Amino acid sequence: MPPMAALVRALLVVAALLALPPGSRSGDAGNLHPVVLVPGYASNQLEAMLTAAYEPSAPACAVSAAAEQGWFQLWPNHTAMHDASQVPCFADQMSVVYDAGADDYRNTDGVATRVPFFGSPRALIGWDPLVRQLEAMGYREGATLFAAPYDFRYAVAPPGHPSAVGDRYFRDLGRLIRRATRLNQGRPPVVVAHSFGCALTYQFLLARPLPWRRRYVRHVVLLGSALGGFAAAGMDFGLPNVARPTMVRLARSEQSALWRLPTPLVFGDRPLAVAGTATYTARNVSAFLEAIGFAEAVRPYVTRVLPMWEELPAPMVPVTSVIGIGVRTPETYVFGADGLRGEPAVVYGDGDGDINLVSLVAVEEWSQVEGQDLKVLRLPGVHHTGYITVDFAVKSVIAEIAEAGRTIESTGNLAFEQKCTDH
Ligand SMILES: *[C@@H]1O[C@H](CO)[C@@H](O)[C@H](O)[C@H]1NC(C)=O
Ligand SMILES: *[C@@H]1O[C@H](CO)[C@@H](O)[C@H](O)[C@H]1NC(C)=O
């Protein structure tokens, strides 16, 4: 083809692709870039099975243990939420244990767990509006649409620290991404992550060699990412509702809990909790953990969590960051003179209701990084759960996914166009 004709053809293709509204591509399923969804915290099911080693902590649990044959749904567990006698059983079975000798987290003795429907969007909780829109665009489960649910009680750890559950998840996620690519003639997927899923996806990418990322990840769409943690996370540990010790114990036991704490890199000297004359910032989380009676978390926090968040290198694959702004978000908890107890006054700031603005915008420093493609979309008034549920937010997210997929088709053409005009 003569260069001029090729250029005209390329431009026409680009123009045609840009002109198409997302919905009209549904007939074009053969050319879709697959999508892999990575949900947020507690946004997929967990199943459990009690084994002979299970020791009921309360008589009510013995009953349920005897009644349970095989796998049952541990999360979400509506029985436990409504039947007070089941709360301790649920909390026990859901808790994880940090084994200081092994330097890793594991399930409570006698409780086996698994994540059902790995690979399928059916595994997800709360994603229906977004998934339905993707299906309307032509995405099909198992062919072009995938999901990577996980055991959200766990996380991963830096090199040198074992993290059996998280490491297995990263292997499974890597396999799923490669499978999605293979099933789509080598077109790598757009990975769409929400909330805690963003932090996992980010660490997953960093743990893969750059050529792997470039080969297998076309684009990452982050929804409400908190790569600097968030202020309300500390309150998950049972403050201010210290009245429910079982749930506090459960919340504190999780490996993922320490991961969500505000990081020094992003939060710096911002006050997170004030108690009398003591001010706690992200720089003295260890002192905070000790002050709330959670000293056993200090070692795993310092050795396993902090090192992963000391810097935020750009992932060097194209990223779109969608954030909600202008929603009242807890920023500082102000306690009375007698320390971190009682009901604190909450000082609010900007964010998406859960994640503070400073953490939502942490990825924006990547715009300074040469070779890092970054687009930021701000959605005023959209709450942390709204990205995947609120109509106008879902539409915006869908448009970003469509564009991320489209970039691939047009990249070659645009590059070609550039070359020709350079001549
Ligand atoms: C909920 O949890 C209790 C105790 O952990 C268990 O007996 C029950 O089978 C679980 N499942 C559902 C669906 O409620
Ligand atoms: C926590 O660190 C801040 C500096 O970020 C400091 O001003 C404050 O006094 C420290 N608080 C405690 C309780 O150590």
Question: What are the domain boundaries of the chain?
Answer: 29-45+115-419, 46-114
Q: What percent of the chain has pLDDT over 90?
A: 70
Under the banding of pLDDT at 50, 70 and 90, the label for residue 87 is: confident
Q: Is the pLDDT of residue 346 over 90?
A: yes
285, two tokens: 């989380």
Q: Please confirm, yes or no, whether 410 is among the known catalytic residues.
A: no
Ligand 2 centre and the CA of 274: distance in Å? 10
91 lines ligand 1 (CB under 6 A): no
| Protein residue with least CA distance to atom 6, ligand 1 | 64
Q: Which of 261, 279, 292, 298 to mutate to test the pocket of ligand 2 (most atoms within 8 A of CB)?
A: 279
Peptide bond before residue 240 is cis, with ω within 30 degrees of 0:
yes
Where are the extended beta strands (E) located within 209-277? 219-223, 273-275
**Strand pairing partners for 37?**
147, 192
Ligand positioned closest to the Cα atom of 50? 1
Find out whether the beta carbon of 280 lies less than 6 Å from any atom of ligand 2.
yes
Model pLDDT, residue 362? 98
Cβ distance 387 to 126 under 8 Å?
A: no
* 3-state SS class at 67: helix
Return the pLDDT at 423: 31
81 pLDDT higher than 80: no
Is 352 a residue of the active site? yes
What one-letter code names the amino acid at 402? A
Mean pLDDT of the chain: 87
Nearest atom of ligand 2 to the alpha carbon of 284: 1
Categorize the per-residue pLDDT at 411 as very low, low, confident or very high, splitting at 50, 70 and 90.
Answer: very low
How large a percentage of the chain has pLDDT more than 70?
Answer: 85
Reduced to 3 states (helix: H, G, I; strand: E, B; else coil), residue 323 is strand
Task: Name residue 74's amino acid.
Answer: L
Q: Rounded distance, CA 46 to CA 117, Å?
A: 10
- Sequence-distant (6+) residues with CB within 8 A of 370 are none
Task: List the beta strands (DSSP E) in 82-189.
Answer: 96-99, 104-107, 111-114, 145-147
> What's the rounded Cα separation, in Å, for the pair 423 and 419?
7
pLDDT at 16 over 70: no
Residue 45 structure tokens: 């099911």
Query: What angle do helix axes 87-94 and 59-67 make, rounded to 10 degrees?
Result: 70
Q: Tell me how far the alpha carbon of residue 77 lies from the centroid of ligand 1, in angstroms.
A: 6
Q: What is the pLDDT of residue 405?
A: 85
Q: Is 195 known to be catalytic?
A: yes
pLDDT score of 371 more than 80: yes
Quick one: pLDDT at residue 15?
39
Check pLDDT > 80 for residue 10.
no
51: left (phi over 0), alpha (psi -120 to 50) or beta: beta
Q: Which of these is catalytic: 219, 354, 384, 410?
A: 384
| Ligand at shortest distance from the CA of 273 | 2
Q: Which one of 256, 352, 383, 410 is the catalytic residue?
A: 352
Paired tokens of 302: 């310092």
Ligand 1 pocket test: which of 83, 90, 108, 125 has the largest number of ligand atoms within 8 Å of its C-beta?
90
Q: Is the CB of 113 under 6 A from ligand 1?
A: no
Which atom belonging to ligand 1 lies closest to the Cα atom of 61? Answer: 4
Measured in Å, residue 82 CA sits from the centre of ligand 1 at 11
Helix and strand numbers, DSSP H then E, in the chain: 15, 15
The SS3 assignment for 389 reads coil
Give the burial class of 66: count Cβ atoms within 10 A of its Cβ; 0-12 exposed, 13-18 middle, 19 or more buried: exposed
What is the pTM for the complete model shown? 0.88
Q: Would you say the C-alpha torsion 412, 417, 418, 422 has a positive or negative sign?
A: positive
CA dist 392 to 18, 171, 208, 382, 398, Å? 21, 35, 34, 9, 10
Mutate to test the pocket of ligand 1, among 86, 92, 95 (most ligand atoms within 8 A of CB): 86
- In this structure, which ligand is nearest to the CA of 246? 1
Query: Which CATH number applies to 29-45+115-419: 3.20.20.450, 3.40.50.1820, 3.30.530.20, 2.30.42.10?
Result: 3.40.50.1820
Which ligand sits nearest to residue 61's alpha carbon? 1
Residue 182 has pLDDT above 90, yes or no: yes
